[in-house]
Structure 1
């Protein structure tokens, strides 16, 4: 059944354009059948989808991935407008409602998504691109970290998630020390209310943080990269009885930790990731509110947009991080 006042099924195209990852580092834009919304689902005409650092391994290639991927995969940061509804979802959204959603095939013109995994975008955002899923991830990390006014917080890695967490922490009244390698990222951190800390040799960074905190180190350290060295550095920056928050997505192998130091310091170690849909949707609502009230400026954080035909260039930019790059989105 269609959404009330939305285009009828007869007016929707039977086929759509979708990006297909055919091999490591290779995309083709192909025609594919337009999905139909199933039970409890809505059909979204996709306005765009962010590209996520967690997708670099499948772009670069690993032995455990099989190609080609499904049309639209691995896009999971989508937003768009509801154009039809399946059984049980007819009243979930008004016709043409602008939504952000949780999904897995948003590098395409259309995607069918569970209505419970879609959020109406506040009117205050206008037509601003809103990749709700990654902003929600940043909100969720911030919430799990339990950062409060007066905390001293180190954020190790100023990519998109690190930048969101740094901004939310600064807005909450924390003192934020943002550790980054790129001059652009350090300048951005300063504009977000954090104190930039150039990332060099591990011991030198620890001593610099120790100097800036009068020897106390940090109440909370957020590792936001997903590699061994940043995890080691973040572990060093937490004071005794502080919190180490692992926000980076560690997917390229096993990690080693100095468990003796963790034990001795009495650290609380927090996994910054969330898999419960209802929790992620609540974080997405918080993300939309933070953008609507001006706490988060997505116009500053989403730095690059690419057409669907240039999706390979988008992933290459994510991999290479050219100057000025923080977050890219792909627009069909």
Structure 2
């Protein structure tokens, strides 16, 4: 099958050389093969893992032999419109609005069969969009049908791009905690994932939500969103938790900071029989065990993104709750502004940074 008439012969795509720059190059618009679809990319987020593992330098990553980035079009948080379907596609076709689960796995291992392609056991066939295969920082994207999720009309393409990674990560972390109306929630680190945790915690019914962030700029942005009952600096966090919970501590906490101090704060703030979720990449976990964990009967969960099924469930929950993830987006750039977009995301952005290839929000 050839690319449809509505797609040009060539497009521009963004690449990350590993020297703190993002560059645009011309490349052919691909044609979908068996089980593949060609998408027009409408929105594509910039993720913190792109900054940490690819943008500044090309680092190794779990299960990857050598650098994780293989010189492909960057961007693993795409959402878009289907333009053409290759042979064998059965669920999606031209005109469908979709977001992309950002790992294409082998499809055969136990993790893939459970929808956990992020943990695909066959590294020969595991490919992340924007890392080992072309991603969403381009006008068009070749996607496996098995990685696509319907994007409800009630949600924008920017919403879909955020769900594709960061919001899905926060959702899984909170589901592991079984957050409900009986819980107080502490979110440590108010980057995009922490902001999403505050939003989703409200949807799940948490009675009080406290956000902790060291950056004054990000604290100001988080307060402006109205997602938290209190937003405080780390030095004030334990006092804030005591005020909000009558001195008991929070029953649930999610660390999105990926830092040893952030994780330690979550442990210090947790109440007896509390549950903690770790979703931030990198860093270490350093704690005394007996008094901090054992004697308090604390449960610690660790999760990596989410499953295909739960990401689709998340889209339905957001519609039911009337919530829009695009609310946490502070800055939107066109594809031509990709270098500036990455500079901001790698510096001190207030919230989420999103690239919209067409140059305007859908």
TM-score by length of 1: 0.85
In structure 2, distance between residues paired with 1:11 and 1:296: 33
Residues 124 and 173 of structure 1: CA distance in aligned 2, closer, same or farther (over 3 Å): closer
Aligned match of 2:167: 135
Residues 39 and 259 of structure 1: CA distance in aligned 2, closer, same or farther (over 3 Å): farther
Task: Specify the SS of the correspondent of 1:22.
Answer: coil
Unaligned runs of 5+ residues in structure 1 are: 3-7
In structure 2, distance between residues paired with 1:187 and 1:19: 28
Task: Specify the SS of the correspondent of 1:81.
Answer: strand
Alignment of 1:191-202 (within 5 A): 191-201=225-235
Aligned match of 1:80: 80
Alignment of 1:117-266 (within 5 A): 117-125=147-155, 129-131=159-161, 132-133=163-164, 134-174=166-206, 175-181=208-214, 182=216, 184-186=218-220, 188-189=222-223, 191-201=225-235, 204-250=236-282, 253-260=283-290, 261-266=292-297
Asked whether 1:44 is paired with 2:71, we answer no
Aligned match of 2:101: 102
Task: Specify the SS of the correspondent of 1:330.
Answer: strand
Aligned match of 1:70: 71
Residues 173 and 10 of structure 1: CA distance in aligned 2, closer, same or farther (over 3 Å): closer
Unaligned runs of 5+ residues in structure 2 are: 61-65, 103-128, 130-134, 358-362
Report how far residue 217 of structure 1 moved: 0.5
Aligned match of 1:303: 330
In structure 2, distance between residues paired with 1:254 and 1:171: 30
In structure 2, distance between residues paired with 1:18 and 1:197: 38
Task: Specify the SS of the correspondent of 1:265.
Answer: coil
Report how far residue 254 of structure 1 moved: 4.3
In structure 2, distance between residues paired with 1:108 and 1:68: 17
Task: Specify the SS of the correspondent of 2:142.
Answer: strand
TM-score by length of 2: 0.79
CA RMSD of superposed structures (Å): 2.5
Task: Specify the SS of the correspondent of 1:26.
Answer: coil
Q: Deviations over 1:157-190 (max 9, x none)?
A: 2222112221222233321112223355356357
- Given that 1:178 and 1:189 are in contact with CA atoms closer than 8 Å, whether structure 2 keeps it comes out as no
Residues 184 and 21 of structure 1: CA distance in aligned 2, closer, same or farther (over 3 Å): closer
- Given that 1:156 and 1:222 are in contact with CA atoms closer than 8 Å, whether structure 2 keeps it comes out as yes
Report how far residue 198 of structure 1 moved: 1.5
Q: Deviations over 1:268-304 (max 9, x none)?
A: 1011324xxxx62223223322443454233421221
Task: Specify the SS of the correspondent of 1:13.
Answer: coil
In structure 1, distance between residues paired with 2:59 and 2:171: 33
